[in-house]
Structure 1
Amino acid sequence: MLTLKSPTETGMIWNSSFGWEDDGVRGHVFSDEDNDLLIISIKGTSMGFGAGPTVPNDKFNDNLLFSCCCAKVDPTWTTVCDCHIKGFDCNMDCVQESVDVRERYYTVTRNLFKVIADSYPGAKVWLTGHSLGGALSALVGLTYGIPVVAYESPGERLPAKRLHLPGPPALPYEKMNIWHIGHSADPIFMGVCNGISSSCYAGGYAMETKCHLGKSSMFDVIGKYKWHLNIQNHRIRVVIDSILDKWEWEYPEFLVESECEDCGAWNFIENLNS
C-alpha cells in the first residue's frame, strides 16, 4: 500500500518558489538536504473572483490545452485561437502551432524545468502538480523523460499529440513514467465537465478532454462513499483529507486508459497552411 507523507516527513525541505510575483506559471521546489532529489510542484488553475492574478492566464491555457478546437464550444463562445473553420472542422496545423508558443504555459513550464534542472546537475528530479499543474507536469515530464505524479489532471493526451511528444507505438502508455491519481466524483478528472449544464461551461472553461498519459489510479468514491459528481470535489484538499488520508480499502491499481478517445466528433484538417 502507498504510504502518504508530507515533504518534511520524508526528509524533504522547501527550497524555493517560482512565478509568485507574476501572473503565470507558479510552483515550489522541494529538495533533500544534499540536493540529490528535487521535487518540482506546479500550481493548478485558480478560479473565481479573488482567486489571484493568474486566473485569466490559467483559464486561457486550460481552454487552449483541453478543448477540441480553441474553445469553440458553441457560437456564444470566444475562441482562444483562430483555428476553427466551420461546424466541427478544425485547422490541425493552426492548433499545433498555437499550443507551443513562447508565452504559453507548456513552453514556460518546460523552460522553468530546464533552468532548475541545470542548476542541480546530477540530481534526480520528479514533477508533480494538481489539475492544470498536473497536466503541465505530465507534458514536461514526457518531454524530458522525467517521472511524474499528477493529481486530478484533465486529460492531457490530446495536447501531448499536438506538441508531437513521444507516444504510441514508439512509447506505449504503460512505459511512460507518469502516474495519475484521481477519483470518480471529480468531473474534470473524469472528463465530463462539459456541456451546457456543466459548471465548467457556466464558468467559461472548455474542458473537453478525458484521456490521460501513462497510468491512472481512480478512487471509486461514488461507489464507496456514495458521493456524486461535483466540481467542488476537484479541490486538492478534498483528495488529501477525505480520500487519501481516510481510504480504508486497497488502493486502486494504476492502469492505462485503453480505448480512450478525445474529440471524436471533430474533423482535424492538416496542410491548410501550406
Structure 2
Amino acid sequence: MGMIIELQQVALTYQSPDGEIEALKDVSFHMAEGEFVSIIGPSGCGKSTLLSLVAGLEKPSHGAIWVDGDIVTAPSPKIGLMPQRDQLFEWRTIWSNVTLGLEVRHENTPKRQAHVRELLERYGLSEFLSKKPSQLSGGMRQRCALIRTLATDPRILLLDEPFSALDYQTRLSVSDDIHSIIRQEKKTALLVTHDISEAISMSDRIVVLSHRPATVKAIHDLGELRLLSPMERRDAPNFRTYFNQIWKELEINV
C-alpha cells in the first residue's frame, strides 16, 4: 500500500494575546492507504489542530504535509471531516441533512443521491429519511453524520473526537459501528481521541503526542489486534498491555 498522508517536521506557532504559542513541534508520521490511525495526547496538546492542518484549514509554520502525493495548501475534496458533535440541523430531515454536503458542493446529482440511498440502506437508516434528528438515538445520529461525510466520496476521513458527546455504553456500540462502516467503505481514517481504550479498539496504529508543544512521543503498531473488531479487542489478552504502556507515556507529560 502506498502512503496517502505524510507529515514531515510539521510545526505550528500562533499568536495569542499573551504572545506566541508553540502548538506543534517537529511532528512527523505517515499513513498508508486504507489504514486507521489514532492520535492521542494530553489535553490541549494540539491534536485537533493537527487535523486542521491535514484538512488544509490551517497552514503549518514549518514543515510540510502531503495528501496523495500533493502538498496540502487548501481544503481538498479527497478529505472528509467528521467533527466532535454530529451537527445535524434539527429543522432538516435526515435525508436533507445527509445530502447537505452535496448541496454545498453543487453535486446533488441523481448519481450521488443514489449512492447516499445505498449507504442509508446498507447501514440501517433508510426508513428514517423523513424523520428529524431529535427522533433518532445518539448512535443513529452519529451514523447519519458519517454518511453525510461519506456522501461526497472522500478517500480520507478525519474524525475529531466524534464520540465524545455520547455516554459510555453508546460509545462502545457506535465506535464498533463506525469502525465497521469505515472498513467496509475502504476509507483511510485519522482519529483524534483522548480515550486510550477507544484508540486501541479502533486503530491499526496509534500516534502518541507529548504535552505542548506536541512532538511524536511514540507510535504503536497494534499488530494482531488489527484482525479483531473493536468489541473483540477489548477482551484480547494484550489490550491491557497496550493500555498500560500508552498510559505511562501520557502520564509522564501530566
Length-normalised TM-score, structure 1: 0.30
Q: Which has the higher strand share?
A: 2
* Higher RCO (Cα < 8 Å, 6 or more apart): 2
Length-normalised TM-score, structure 2: 0.32
Q: Which has the higher helix share?
A: 2
